[in-house]
């Protein structure tokens, strides 16, 4: 492939650019999980994430769940609507706010999807020692802490990185 005259052809590659590789893995996890969950239970990965967030913090609002999961409010809203339609989630008023709780059927679905999700994680991390898993999680947490600085970067600010 030719570049523009006087310019080298160079771009980031999947195999040596961390954001590209993280996206590749993330997309594979999301698409694979969604296909499996949809086939088995008629819910996708976003609904699974919402169910899990509610189990971890019963009574959470949709806004709080969106913040916790890093999901757009409209995605969370659609997922909650689907879960309500399927009688998996209820919306209750708590001190002037709308909090979410799982129904018995919601807990049952969550528990089934949890087993599948943990098995998928086990398969993803196959061949990693416990120490390597802990090190990987420490790297991922450190990267996540760097996200605000990365997202605040603006090349027009004239500030060196």
SS3 state of residue 101: strand
Domain coverage including residue 103: 45-145
Question: In this structure, is residue 98 part of a structural domain?
Answer: yes
pLDDT digits (tens, 9 = 90+) for 83-112: 999 999 999 887 788 899 999 999 999 999
Measured distance CA(36)–CA(28) in Å, rounded? 12
Residue 2 has pLDDT above 70, yes or no: no
pLDDT digits (tens, 9 = 90+) for 102-151: 999 999 999 999 999 999 999 999 999 999 999 999 999 999 999 999 99
Question: In this structure, is residue 23 part of a structural domain?
Answer: no
Question: In this structure, is residue 32 part of a structural domain?
Answer: no
Number of domains in the chain: 1
CATH of the domain at 111: 1.10.10.10
Question: In this structure, is residue 135 part of a structural domain?
Answer: yes
Q: Assign residue 122 a region: left if phi > 0, alpha if psi is -120 to 50, beta otherwise?
A: alpha
Question: In this structure, is residue 87 part of a structural domain?
Answer: yes
Helix, strand, coil % in the chain, rounded to nearest 5? 65, 5, 30
pTM confidence score: 0.84
Question: In this structure, is residue 36 part of a structural domain?
Answer: no
Question: In this structure, is residue 131 part of a structural domain?
Answer: yes
Distances (CA, A) of 108 to 41, 46, 87, 116, 117: 11, 17, 12, 13, 14
Measured distance CA(29)–CA(27) in Å, rounded? 5
Question: In this structure, is residue 99 part of a structural domain?
Answer: yes
């Amino acid at each position: 492939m030719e570049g523009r005259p006087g310019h080298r052809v160079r771009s980031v590659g999947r195999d040596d650019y961390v954001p590209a590789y993280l996206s590749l893995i993330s997309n594979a996890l999301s698409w694979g999980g969604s296909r499996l969950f949809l086939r088995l239970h008629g819910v996708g990965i976003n609904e699974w994430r919402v169910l899990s967030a509610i189990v971890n913090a019963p009574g959470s609002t949709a806004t709080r769940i969106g913040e916790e999961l890093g999901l757009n409010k409209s995605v969370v809203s659609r997922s909650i609507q689907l879960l309500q339609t399927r009688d998996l989630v209820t919306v209750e008023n708590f001190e002037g706010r709308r909090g979410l709780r799982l129904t018995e059927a919601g807990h049952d679905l969550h528990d089934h999807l949890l087993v599948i999700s943990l098995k998928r994680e086990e398969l993803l991390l196959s061949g990693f020692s416990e120490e390597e898993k802990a090190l990987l999680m420490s790297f991922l947490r450190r990267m996540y802490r760097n996200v605000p600085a990365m997202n605040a970067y603006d090349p027009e600010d004239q500030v060196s990185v």
